[in-house]
Structure 1
């Protein structure tokens, strides 16, 4: 049956541009932790609220410490989620633990919330022998089958159509689970985004498209990316549910995602959630944001820090105080440093594992390339201090 409305007929040209459409932003609490007038506070038990906050704090501390490690030359690359923790932790808290997450590269908060240990983070970042990816990925490309978190890939937007396909499998299986795919507003400019939304809407699959609209696609501001009112209106062109939420308001993100999940799982209706936030940090350790935005702009957004807002709310509930805050920060900083020092000196993965897990039997060409690599490393051992020392033991 066609979903196109052909009932209304006109006899003069009428062009529609959509200027009259303005999608509101859902907010629950102000920066001081007090609720907006008329706002309904989501049902959130104390234990879960504190788990969420501790995950946000751990994410912030981990990001600060690991960027410092990168600046010291101990890591090749790092990406922070500073300023976006309410979105990256809040959405995960609204899901069931076995819902699938297909992230972009700034969602470490979701992994923290689900229980990815500091050891697991460090093993991946340092590409040591305990890294699940066997050192084949650059830092921050995490993945965990146990935690239903698909391994991150570098190319932009590849995870979006994959999420639609995975959710279609969930629908066929009837397991009452959904898939959430997370991406930035820059990734929404890729063709994969539109293909994924169209396929999800046609097939009616339990997928939630979560866009972190943090203002910049690396150095390109949103104003230079699209002329429309953000990303949320795009869903309407596919007859899909959409909501815009304050991405720095943990309670708003949590409730929006809870209701989005219900639509996805109970009705097999795809949903687009646009979380409005701001990337306080650089795009990555390779980026210098001072070249494209002002310190004044950053300062305005630092006043909207999501950790402070949620902490203020917790304090108003009498669930948190300054003494607990200091104890938590001291403990997290100590644990991150201790775990990093333990993971950094571990051996790297075996070089022969570089060509496994793709073919049942590696083809001759790959075997020859591996041998050529070993010759190269033996020729320049000073450039590969960890690897060269293990060549004769592979």
Structure 2
């Protein structure tokens, strides 16, 4: 094994040895604590330390790293105190995630580390977003994201690398190829000879290194960093290594041929580097013993401190409050107003927000020169330049990049060309955006605009209204306006809010609905419903297109006094308004365009039954669309929509 010390002093070489041996000694102690039941799980990086340590040493301390669960060396090289790490591994509320995450599934802004989630791959596109934030701020910084050879089979790997290449982002993608994804060997993962061969397909530079050679990793990452910063282009590095223990300790290593352990044990990164330092007379066996003993003493002291962990203190109010970052107070509208279509109110809201928030970035397919599929962003590119970005067709990577922008101090809006396409980014939304503030206090300042709904003959893949998928997820806010003034005010509130917001816009309302819209900047508070009209016979609780169905029905049936409540915001929900309109009539119909089973109406009706039972004069009823995909043919679609059954439900309820 050849070592290249170019540019490194003797002092640096010795400090590198300390950085390399320290995580190994910690691991040996952790494996003992694991057997003693003092920590619950461990993913060993023994034999792979040179990659995590070398890469971290090559970066500046304020450059973000997105590690995996076998990268203890990243955390130790960034000087995170071992006693606090141990509290994290024990699930203590004094750890980095207050007991909400295990092992290395956490992040920390002070150390510029963004923790992984168990779904391998999503961290790669977050790195794209952080790098994009550096570009917007003209900072000469790089972002480094780890993945394993198994993770390269994920679609997110392709999306993230492609996005970084297309957008010329200074990202280093570092593959730790240790031969096995749990028990699956590389020949069952990919057919290219080397994973670095994939770099050419994305139009980026790639290099393959000996992952057990500390200085080779360091020099390669250092060179890649300088190249990425100077050229503003990404780099792919494949670091070849071996996993000396199981995927995690419970899985064992019986599936690995014994000969591989014998071969790789001779390549142990610590032994090889120590031998090199001895060869150049920088280290002796006595000094190695002294350094190791000194570090072991330090580890014992830190462990003793870390084990002084009181029982976790359960605080339900704190648990609930930490799901979301603090909201922004509402801004009341001014007196001036003008009549606008629903679509124009949304477009004006985006423009107002771009002026209000210079850190706001708009992203989506065809939203720049073309102006978006519905022309909502038309003209914004000319006015705001590169803050309006076309994206490749990669919903997941773009949403991940939006989260990275948030980590970098920006706001972002991601437009789904059609709300149906959000399925391609589902993992990023429900597991990254929704959970990150609860996990380690990082806000996800992202709005996802969702053109949704039927009634326009667009068939099963362009007509869904899928709000119920997201109202179930703690950490997301879900908004669904029906009126132009609400559309603008709620959109501005969503873009002001530091939390992830799913903003539903019904396509059929875009050009069919008009109303008076306040001019200038204003916001409407989430969780405040709008009483459209009072009634004494029946109360309809609805949102989106359902509001207009209800209003039209009430106009056509003046003999029935119908109260109509427009929820506007589904999460948070205005329970006070629901109770008030229930009390007004004692008969409640929950109306929505989504399909019946599992629709959001079930949540509303269940809450009324539980909390307002004494106010009811009849069962709460739900009027929803058929439990089928949305059909294309006009007559079939009319029959599918809840509107087709509205009269039947109202008559049944009225006659109860």
TM bucket, shorter chain: 0.7 to 0.9
Correspondence 1:32-71 to 2 at 5 A: 41-71=5-35
Kept after mapping to 1: 8 A contact 2:82/2:306: no
Output the CA distance in 1 between the equivalents of 2:169 and 2:196: 18
- The alignment status of 1:354 with 2:288, answered yes or no, reads no
Equivalent residue for 1:199?
163
Kept after mapping to 2: 8 A contact 1:210/1:272: yes
Q: 1:41 to 1:334 in 2, by over 3 A?
A: closer
SS in 1 for 2:8: coil
TM-score by length of 1: 0.79
TM-score by length of 2: 0.48
SS in 1 for 2:251: coil
Q: Among 205, 226, 229, which residue is 1:265 paired with?
A: 229
Q: 1:347 to 1:334 in 2, by over 3 A?
A: same
Equivalent residue for 2:133?
169
Flag structure 1 segments of 5+ consecutive residues without an equivalent: 1-29, 367-394
Kept after mapping to 1: 8 A contact 2:85/2:96: no
Equivalent residue for 2:173?
209
Deviation at 1:142, TM superposition (A): 4.4
SS in 2 for 1:289: coil
Output the CA distance in 1 between the equivalents of 2:311 and 2:258: 40
Equivalent residue for 1:377?
none
Q: Among 342, 348, 354, which residue is 2:305 paired with?
A: 342
Kept after mapping to 2: 8 A contact 1:100/1:178: yes
Output the CA distance in 2 between the equivalents of 1:42 and 1:351: 53
Deviation at 1:295, TM superposition (A): 2.3
CA RMSD after TM alignment: 2.0
- The alignment status of 1:157 with 2:150, answered yes or no, reads no
Kept after mapping to 2: 8 A contact 1:168/1:205: yes
Deviation at 1:127, TM superposition (A): 2.3
- The alignment status of 1:115 with 2:79, answered yes or no, reads yes
Kept after mapping to 2: 8 A contact 1:100/1:150: yes
Flag structure 2 segments of 5+ consecutive residues without an equivalent: 328-437, 439-470, 475-656
SS in 2 for 1:194: helix
Q: Among 299, 305, 330, which residue is 2:293 paired with?
A: 330
Q: Among 302, 305, 314, which residue is 2:277 paired with?
A: 314
Output the CA distance in 2 between the equivalents of 1:201 and 1:60: 35
Output the CA distance in 2 between the equivalents of 1:343 and 1:131: 9
- The alignment status of 1:249 with 2:216, answered yes or no, reads no
Q: Deviations over 1:360-393 (max 9, x none)?
A: 4899x98xxxxxxxxxxxxxxxxxxxxxxxxxxx
Q: Among 38, 42, 53, which residue is 1:74 paired with?
A: 38
Higher strand share: 2
Q: How many residues align?
A: 329
SS in 1 for 2:249: coil
Kept after mapping to 2: 8 A contact 1:215/1:221: yes
Output the CA distance in 2 between the equivalents of 1:217 and 1:66: 22
Deviation at 1:169, TM superposition (A): 1.1
Deviation at 1:178, TM superposition (A): 0.7
Question: Structure 1 segments of 4 or more deviating over 6 A?
Answer: none
SS in 2 for 1:286: helix
Kept after mapping to 2: 8 A contact 1:104/1:183: yes
